[in-house]
Structure formats: C-alpha cells, structure tokens
Chains A and B, each alone.
Chain A
Amino acid sequence: MSEAPKERLFASLDLFREKVNDNARLRQMNRDWNRDIAVVARDLPEVEASISMREGQMDWQPQAVENPHIVLSAPADVLIGIFRGDSTPTEPYLDGSLTLRGTQEDVLRLDFVSLMIWGE
C-alpha cells in the first residue's frame, strides 16, 4: 500500500475536525451527542481510524475503537471526499458505496453534521 491514501485520509479527518470544532452552531447542536464512530476504509484494511464526539467537540484517532455507535465504511476516496466536503454522503449512501451501521437517528445526525459544514 502506498502511504498517500492513508495520509490523505488522515488529512481529511484533520480538516473535518477543524470544521466541526470551529462551527459554534454545530457544537451547540451536538452538545448531547457523545458517540464513537469507526471509520473503515474498505480498500485500506491495515488503516484504522475512529472519530469521537464529546459534548459538541470532535476528535479522531488513528486507531480502532471498541463497540462503536456508528460504523462508517467506504473506499478511502469516498471517505476522503466526504470529510473534505468534495462530495456529500447522500449519493454514496444511496448507491451503496458508503455503508453506515448504527441507529437511524445517529446515521441521520451524522449526515446533518456533514451537511451543516459543507451544505450550500
């Protein structure tokens, strides 16, 4: 595996974290939403990453998380596109390239987070 996709994925998570944490309105919206989210790049099986949401703040770690509330799984390019705001989660979700496992409300909320940052 070349390092480039892994680095690009991690850079996109950095950008996503910055956008979430810089958005005061989003922080308020998510103040009660404490969740662990596993990020699975299907074509990079050796890469592990997870997002944690705590009291409106987001962080991410380059490691797996036990018992995640949501599992976000897609090819690395799809994940990178979503975290960078190059694409919305909707189309890859509908065409099956992105799978989201979790409660319906959590899945919907994750979509809202992304759209609140990148939506036009």
Chain B
Amino acid sequence: MAGGKGAGGFFKLAIVFIAILALGIGAFQPLIRAMKLGLDLCGGVYILVQAQSTAEHAVTNEDMVALERVMRDRVDQLGIAEPVIQREGSDRLIIQLAGYDNPEEAVKMIGKTAQLEFRTSDGQVVVTGKDLKDAKAVIDQQSREPEITLKFNAEGTKKFAEITQKLVSSYSSGDPKRHIAIYLDEDLLTNPHVDEAIPSGEAVIRGGFASFQEAADLAALLRGGALPVPVQIIERRAVGPTLGADSLARSKTAVIVGLALIALFMLVVYRLPGLVANLSLIVYSLIVLGVLWALKATLTLPGIAGLLLSVGMAVDANIIIYERLKEELRNGKTLRAAIDAGFKRAFNTIFDANATTVLAALVLYFLGSGTVRGFAVTLSLGIVASMFTAITLTRFLLHLVIGVPAFHKLWLYGVKEGQIPVAARGEI
C-alpha cells in the first residue's frame, strides 16, 4: 500500500491528489444537476387525499384503483412532467407535483370533490359516479349529430335498467317526469329524456349539443368527475416557486459555507493530515451523491440538512484517527507506526460512535413522516460512506504522504519537536 521513496513517492502522491481533485471538479456539477429536487426546493404540491367511507359504502380496493385513475386524468390535464401518484395504506392517495408553478390551480383540480349523480325528477338518486364505467363523445353515423355514449358497470347496469324500465312504464313519452337529470356536484349537467328502457348498460345522451366539443367536455366531466368515492384532502403542502427557489439558493449557500469552514478547520487544526481528510471528503461527497443519484432519490431540504450534518459528523472519524496519531507520535512512535496504531486503535471507537447514530436514523426512516425520511436516508448513507472513506482512503493517502521524505516534518502533523521523547527525535 505504501508509496515509494523520494521523487517516485512524490510523483505517485501528486497523481492521486490531482486525480481526486479532477474527479471532484468534473463529476460534482453534473451529479448535482442530475439530482431530482423535492417540491420544497423547486415549488410544487404534495397532496394526501383520503377516500371517505360512508354508512352505505366502505372504501374498496376497486374504488382506490378507480380514484387513482381519475386523479391521473385530472393531473394530466395540468400538463405536469412527472407527477407522482401512489397509494398509501388502504384508503389514501399521495399526489406529488414537483416543479409545478401554480400550486393553487393544482389543488383546485385535485381537490374537486366532484360527485356524479343521476337523479329522477323527484330528486331521487338512482345511479352515481361509481356505477359509471365510461363516457365518450361520438358523432352519430346517421344524424351527424354529436352524442355521448355511457357505459355502466354491472351494478350500474342493473340499477339503470330498473329505473329506465320504471320511468318508461310509468310516464308517457314527452312527460318531464320521464327525464333523468345528471348532476356533477349539484350542478345540472344535462337532463335527457328516457326514450326507452335500457337493460344493456349502454346508454346514449343524444341531442342538445351545439358542437362536438361541448359533448366532449361533458363526457370528460362525466368520466373525470366520476369520483368513485367522496374524498377529502387531509394533508396539503403547496410551495410557491419563489419560496422553492429561495430555499434552494439558501441551501446552496449553507452547504458551501459549511463545507468550506469544515475544510478550513481541518486544515488549520490537523495540517497535512487535514488536507488528506479534505481530499477524502471530496470522494466521500461523490460517493454519497452517486448513491443518491443511483437510488433515484429526491433531494429535499431536510435531505440537504442531513448531507451537511453527515459531513460534520463524518470528519469525526478522521479526528479520532488524527488525535490518536498525534498521541502516538508524542509517545515516540515513528510516523508509519503511529499511523498504523492510530487506525487500528481508532477503528472500534469510530464504529461505536457511528453505529448508534445509524440506529437512530433507521428508526427515523421507518417511522418518520415523508418530510424527515430524506434526512434519515442522507444521514445514514453519509455516515456509512464516511466510515468507509476514513478507514480506507484516508489511510491509503496517508501512506502515500509519508512515502515522501519532505513530508516527514513533525509540524506538518501538528506536533511540536519538544513534545516527543528525546530518544525519538530526529528521524520519525
């Protein structure tokens, strides 16, 4: 592992240092750019809707599948690039629209608790949105008039057949009582006349459309508005684009200043090994960002907090090793022996010190809310990566460093000549 002597050692060291710096400069920007940003950093909406069970109807899996479809339709109408719509638990749906610059509009679109109802003239609800399978606008082949075809599901078919049969047999054609009104959230959409009993589950709303577009709009409402169950928004987090941009800019500043100060601190306190630790930190950051990118993780504000904090905690491993190193040097060990002893004796401490933090982060991941999960991920990932780089890379680099005779000066390691035993002075 150790580098060669003299000029060869220096050459080797220089190549590794430059390689790490180049890697850092080259890969950093693209990695950061490729990172998906959470809606707290780019604006957007997070909405958690809960389907409501009623006395007559408990929410079923089919309801949820249908609800998801309706929500997807609605979101698609907003023209959002990558909407995230996912089920949570048995009756909840998470809708995340990152980067959407009009959260108000999105909330309105999704929050519409539109409920479709077919009512008879006496106000009795005969069929609801959850009985409707499909609605489509078509042009009738013969009359060239726009019309809407409705398809009911099995239950809807049965109900619709019963009521149309009843209306047709009770009232004569043309009687206003022979109409079925279609309401969307108490708004009357249309009030078609029932021409005949419809047992097939396929009905046509014919006539009264000024244009094909009008029929198409109504069909879309019937389709999209047909929420299978009433829903309620139980959590909403809408972040305007200005706040998101502001948070992103602030986070960038915080991370840059924090990293620069930590690097400066390490350099001033630990000198040459400090520089080595800073180089390790570059590799460490690349590992963390690389893994996050590979996991397709979304970077959020708490996630950034976890990243920066993990760097603060990560250098701990280096500090433990370097303090040991100084101590061993003061006890009169040679540089090489001191470094080996420093790593050997520090390992257990580093492991212990980090294990508990990772344990806590794991608990947070499994029980925390969505907001803090990102933090748990970046923190634990950061700690593991830091242990890895401190134990492997820092050690490798330090061995390369002591392969160069010019770097054998004690002051480079923050130890004064007077502090080491007289016998050990001179060659270290």
Q: Do chains A and B stick together as partners?
A: no
